[in-house]
Amino acid sequence: MASANPFNSILKTLEKPQGGEFGKYYSLPALNDPRIDKLPYSIKILLESAIRNCDEFQVKSKDVEKIIDWENTSPKQVEIPFKPARVLLQDFTGVPAVVDLACMRDAMNKLGGDSNKINPLVPVDLVIDHSVQVDVARSENAVQANMELEFQRNKERFAFLKWGSSAFDNMLVVPPGSGIVHQVNLEYLGRVVFNTNGVLYPDSVVGTDSHTTMIDGLGVAGWGVGGIEAEAAMLGQPMSMVLPGVVGFKLLGKLRDGVTATDLVLTVTQMLRKHGVVGKFVEFYGEGMSELSLADRATIANMSPEYGATMGFFPVDHVTLQYLQLTGRSEETIAMIESYLRANKMFVDYNEPQIEKVYSSYLQLKLEEVEPCISGPKRPHDRVPLKEMKADWQACLDNRVGFKGFAIPKESQDKAAKFSFHGTPAELRHGDVVIAAITSCTNTSNPSVMLGAALVAKKACELGLEVKPWIKTSLAPGSGVVTKYLQKSGLQKYLNQLGFHIVGYGCTTCIGNSGDIDESVASAISENDMVAAAVLSGNRNFEGRVHPLTRANYLASPPLVVAYALAGTVDIDFETEPIGTGKDGKKIFFRDIWPSSEEVANVVQSSVLPDMFKATYEAITKGNPMWNQLPVPSGSLYAWSPTSTYIHEPPYFKDMTMSPPGPHGVKDAYCLLNFGDSITTDHISPAGSIHKDSPAAKFLLEHGVDRRDFNSYGSRRGNDEIMARGTFANIRLVNKLLKGEVGPKTIHIPTGEKLSVYDAAMRYKTAGQDTIILAGAEYGSGSSRDWAAKGPMLLGVKAVIAKSFERIHRSNLVGMGIIPLCFKSGEDADTLGLTGHERYIIDLPSCVSEIRPGQDVTVATDSGRSFTCTVRFDTEVELAYFNHGGILQYVIRNLIGAKQ
């Protein structure tokens, strides 16, 4: 049980320079431990959190010691608990989180407790940055038209979240149309330092989107997690994480004239991919840091998932403070942030001698060596220097099919597909651009590249260049601030002239929401097997992601997106070949439209102003007309609609009582599925389209939903009926019970019938029979997904026996009351002769005090074979969750005051 914080002796008062005090804080220097001075800044944030939250139950003194001794413990892959300062949600994952909170309130109410106690215990920022489908582009009213379509499609989800914004304390909901979640986080939500009830501590955040890492550019430790971890964190529960290694990345010098932040980030991404940083922090330092704007840092931090790191961290320094001032944070707040971080030795002052930090490994980059580049055609780390692009493209046409190849026969490489575009003769060649999008969170936060793109457009328009009308052009800024400074600069009109109208604020082309391209263009591509290209300023360009008809997809800076749109092809050498012909018949080259760094800096200086940030984010609290007109139910308990196919009350708390159910073993369970290695969360709970023959499709049709309105599993995460039916519904599922057949089916062992996984599970459940899953290594790998644990629980799965688990998925299973067990080293279902046709008995003690983290248990089968497994409850906190039947039940009983 929790006890008083053993570190209260280092609680100090932070005085204001002019008198009075900012508040109290846990002082790291007061520990007088020389090891702390050498710690990377990112590890100090983990250390402070562990000290402040130490209660000898959820967070222990020994966890604090592990972090202080990071240099020795991090290579050993030790686990630590971490309590982030806040949680960041976007609407897809926000919906199930708010559903669970609403459901917990109902349960609390039925148990006679005060349902209003169910609130996030840490601040939750929920940004509805609904992915904008670019249905309307190249028009002045594109934003309004796209927004109207989004509200039409997502009315139920939006209304539910609007209810949540008023029903729950400690939850801020940012309405649709305000900006993309990561940008809003950077410009508005990021605190850098919290002051809660007079206690100061560093801001840290976990978010339900992989690009939460953008906030690391602001000196706030943040990364992406799955829904269950986010829910646990917002309910005050610790996250279990491996104490990471930290790669020190030294930056030297200054970028050359005309080189952009995008060129830098693509270079850094390639270097870090090659170095290998999966599961690690990357921390940037060195004299080159002072030459990087905050927006440049945020661009690099944003792409952490693309180089594979947990985060790319930039410690707070004077550049950070200047950005906080620019974005409208108050002088008092900025003074508090600087004073606190200096007092705790977490501020970097490049005017003072630097104490050398210890890192797990080291990298170095001279910024003057970075050159203009793009990445593609299929992966973000396949960087191509701009001067080599034409040769690289030719090689891609020749190479066999792969990440850098399309295998186009030599005789077909020069062919032209002729077509008629709205009555005008036109033609397409391999490498011709059909989508050019300034999109996504990576670059649209950065004034230098956004205004750089606008300057390219201005110069092009003045010279008489145009973009071919069949190229789908679009501009999706990260926030409303971008619109303000593009208008202030007088440059938006030139982007409009070239077709780069603002289409909305949110994920667009980068996530596959490019919308349809013109039918005549689509036919020309598909009928002639053309390798058409998309050029986008996003962060992901995996095959099939941007658009089904663009086989070549290149990541580029916003100015380069405009340049390639003007050229109309990626098969061009910008140094020697003209982009087009001007109004006077003169050939125009790349150098004629490319702005200097000084030109860009001047327009940024005069156009990006603090008042823009203040005005944009003041408007958030007022909402917008469509949001404000959304009718929502009142009251702190949600009025569930029995007819809704988007929002439904899940049965997690059915028959719940005040007494914890205690540990449960498994008796005479059938094997629902028998898997091999590397079953991912996508296999367990697909997030994409709903297959027309699936149990989920059948449910929707029975409830009057037309097939064209099925939407995706991702958008229906608030309805357990659909998500349970979507569990193990991946069409690529390989289940050994099917003896080689691939698909989302299994064998119902008692009858031998082949059924969908959902139907088989329901038959077992109706008969009161438990089920288990057998699996190989890395069960639950891939992106963390809450429904990969919630779904199996609703199907009646009581245990998963695997060779090994992905760390977060194992934790999620425990959180939903499912027992994770590991075969002993060298053993698995095959070596033990298990076919999956046996019945299984897992005998656990009936009292939680008799179970130890990581203890061995015997699994017996009705065939007479038995074997030993390790029960993967790894901490006492996890045992407490299991004792209560799951993390949500644990929190409810704790709040009511049940004895543990």
pLDDT tens per residue, range 441-480: 777 678 999 999 999 999 999 999 999 999 999 998 888 8
Contact 452, 559 (CB under 8 A): yes
Question: How many Cα neighbours within 13 Å face the side chain of 276?
Answer: 2
Pick from 101, 72, 260, 82: nearest CA to 170: 101
Pick from 102, 62, 4, 35: nearest CA to 718: 102
pLDDT tens per residue, range 708-742: 888 888 889 999 999 999 999 988 899 999 998 99
Confidence of residue 181 (pLDDT cuts 50, 70, 90): confident
pLDDT of residue 133: 66
Contact 541, 432 (CB under 8 A): no
Confidence of residue 621 (pLDDT cuts 50, 70, 90): confident
Question: Cα angle at 798 between 87 and 837, to 5 degrees?
Answer: 140
168 DSSP 8-state letter = S
pLDDT of residue 130: 61
**What's the token pair of residue 645?**
């196919």
Q: How far apart are CA 222 and CA 473, in angstroms?
A: 33
pLDDT of residue 131: 62
Confidence of residue 516 (pLDDT cuts 50, 70, 90): confident
Q: How far apart are CA 798 and CA 818, in angstroms?
A: 5
pLDDT tens per residue, range 113-128: 999 999 999 999 999 8
State the average pLDDT for the chain: 92
Lowest mean pLDDT among 377-391, 540-554, 658-672, 805-819: 540-554
Q: Residue 300 belongs to what H/E stretch? A: helix 294-302
pLDDT of residue 2: 66
pLDDT of residue 849: 87
pLDDT tens per residue, range 595-609: 999 999 999 999 999
pLDDT of residue 882: 94
pLDDT tens per residue, range 735-788: 999 998 999 999 999 999 999 999 999 999 999 999 999 999 989 987 778 999
Q: What percent of the chain has pLDDT over 70?
A: 98
* E strand spans, 235-387: 239-242, 246-252, 281-285, 311-313, 361-366, 373-375, 383-385
Pick from 787, 790, 774, 780: nearest CA to 810: 780
pLDDT of residue 620: 77
Q: Is the pLDDT of residue 594 over 90?
A: yes
* E strand spans, 466-529: 472-475
pLDDT of residue 899: 41
* E strand spans, 736-824: 745-748, 753-756, 771-774, 797-802, 819-823
Sign of CA pseudo-dihedral 353, 359, 364, 367: negative
> What mean pLDDT is predicted for residues 687-710?
90
pLDDT tens per residue, range 23-47: 999 999 999 999 999 999 999 999 9
Q: How far apart are CA 139 and CA 515, in angstroms?
A: 15
pLDDT of residue 440: 66
Q: How far apart are CA 181 and CA 158, in angstroms?
A: 15
Contact 566, 469 (CB under 8 A): no
* E strand spans, 738-826: 745-748, 753-756, 771-774, 797-802, 819-823
Q: What percent of the chain has pLDDT over 90?
A: 73
Q: Is the pLDDT of residue 135 over 90?
A: no
> What mean pLDDT is predicted for residues 485-507?
92
pLDDT of residue 900: 38
Confidence of residue 132 (pLDDT cuts 50, 70, 90): low
> What mean pLDDT is predicted for residues 866-872?
96
pTM over 0.75: yes
467 DSSP 8-state letter = -
pLDDT of residue 79: 86
pLDDT of residue 191: 97
pLDDT tens per residue, range 423-439: 999 999 999 999 999 98
| Torsion of the alpha carbons at 576, 580, 585 and 589, rounded to the nearest 10 | -40
Q: Is the pLDDT of residue 617 over 60?
A: yes
Contact 843, 857 (CB under 8 A): yes
| 253 backbone φψ class: left, alpha, beta (φ>0; ψ -120 to 50) | left
pLDDT of residue 293: 93
pLDDT of residue 603: 97
